[in-house]
């Protein structure tokens, strides 16, 4: 039950029936704008603070209330707050996973994902890697450079003209992959892949509505989660 208490100056008189003027010991005075709260407080503190409206409901209301002088306030969150809390849980799960990746494998989450794709597809090129990660080719090229600089992958020229570059894991890359916590793609992509088509379609539509409300456009759509 959500109570709405508004702080008012001491000595203020009630203006409307059903409002309660409450003084708890030496604490400040409050005016309660919730008629149900008014009756509950009246009974809990064994005092006459009700404005008179619907006073006959006090006894019925109190049958499910806590003992006297035990104040219990339950604030039911609004629908937007409930959804916001769900987003916080999702973001926290994603961030926690990436922190564990860096701690255990010594590389970032997006680098680990690229490393795992190269491990699954030895000889893959940069363009194919970009498509597998759903990122821009420039982003994939930067990931490859970072992996090469750390000695985690090896590159070889291939193709008829020897211009194409293929990639494979080095021993150090295999060791990093062995130490890294799964799922390598991240907890969110892994969770989404486990959902059925109907749920995913509903999520796509609802999140599309949210993105429109945010006026966010498509910025960041092809950026790895670990780099946001």
Alpha carbon distance 7, 157 (integer Å): 74
Helix axes 79-105, 109-120, angle to 10 degrees: 70
Residue 72 lies in a domain: no
At residue 157, the pLDDT reads 86
DSSP notation for 26-64: TS-EEEE--HHHHHHHHHHTTS----STTGGGHHHHHTT
Residue 68 lies in a domain: no
Beta strands 164-169 and 29-32 are unpaired
Residues 45 and 121 reside in one and the same domain = no
pLDDT by residue (tens digit) across 11-35?
A: 555 444 444 444 443 344 444 444 4
Q: What is the CATH number of the domain that holds 108?
A: 1.10.10.10
Neighbour count for residue 63 (Cβ, 10 Å):
6
| Token pair in block for residue 132 | 């597998």
What is the number of structural domains in the chain?
2
* Average pLDDT over the chain, rounded to an integer: 79
Q: What is the pLDDT along the chain (228 residues), one digit of tens a residue?
A: 444 444 445 555 544 444 444 444 334 444 444 444 554 444 554 444 444 444 444 444 444 445 554 555 568 899 999 999 999 999 999 999 999 999 999 999 999 999 999 999 999 999 999 999 999 999 999 999 999 999 999 999 877 766 788 999 999 999 999 999 999 999 999 999 999 999 999 999 999 999 999 999 998 999 999 998
At residue 113, the pLDDT reads 96
At residue 114, the pLDDT reads 96
Residues 217 and 189 reside in one and the same domain = yes
- For 123, the domain range is 79-227
CA of 172: how far to CAs of 60, 139, 175, 177, in Å?
72, 22, 5, 9
At residue 11, the pLDDT reads 54
Alpha carbon distance 137, 222 (integer Å): 10
């Amino acid at each position: 039950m959500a109570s709405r208490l508004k702080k008012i100056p001491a000595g203020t008189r009630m203006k409307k029936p059903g409002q309660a003027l409450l003084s708890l010991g030496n604490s400040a005075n409050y005016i309660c704008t919730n008629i149900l709260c008014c009756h509950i407080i009246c009974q809990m503190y064994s005092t006459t603070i009700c404005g008179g409206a619907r006073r006959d409901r006090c006894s019925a209301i109190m049958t499910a209330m806590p003992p006297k002088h035990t104040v219990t306030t339950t604030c039911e969150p609004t629908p937007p707050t409930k959804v916001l809390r769900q987003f916080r849980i999702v973001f926290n799960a994603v961030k926690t996973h990436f922190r564990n990746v860096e701690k255990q494998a010594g590389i970032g989450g997006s680098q680990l994902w690229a490393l795992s794709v190269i491990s699954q597809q030895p000889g893959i090129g940069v363009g194919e890697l970009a498509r597998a990660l759903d990122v821009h080719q420039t982003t994939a090229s930067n990931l490859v450079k970072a992996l090469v600089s750390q000695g985690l992958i090896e590159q070889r020229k291939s193709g008829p003209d020897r211009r194409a570059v293929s990639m494979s894991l080095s021993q150090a890359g295999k060791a990093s992959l062995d130490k890294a916590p799964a799922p390598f793609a991240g907890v969110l992509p892994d969770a989404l892949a486990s959902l059925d088509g109907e749920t995913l379609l509903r999520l796509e539509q609802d999140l599309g509505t949210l993105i429109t409300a945010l006026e966010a456009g498509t910025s960041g759509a092809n950026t790895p989660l670990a780099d946001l």
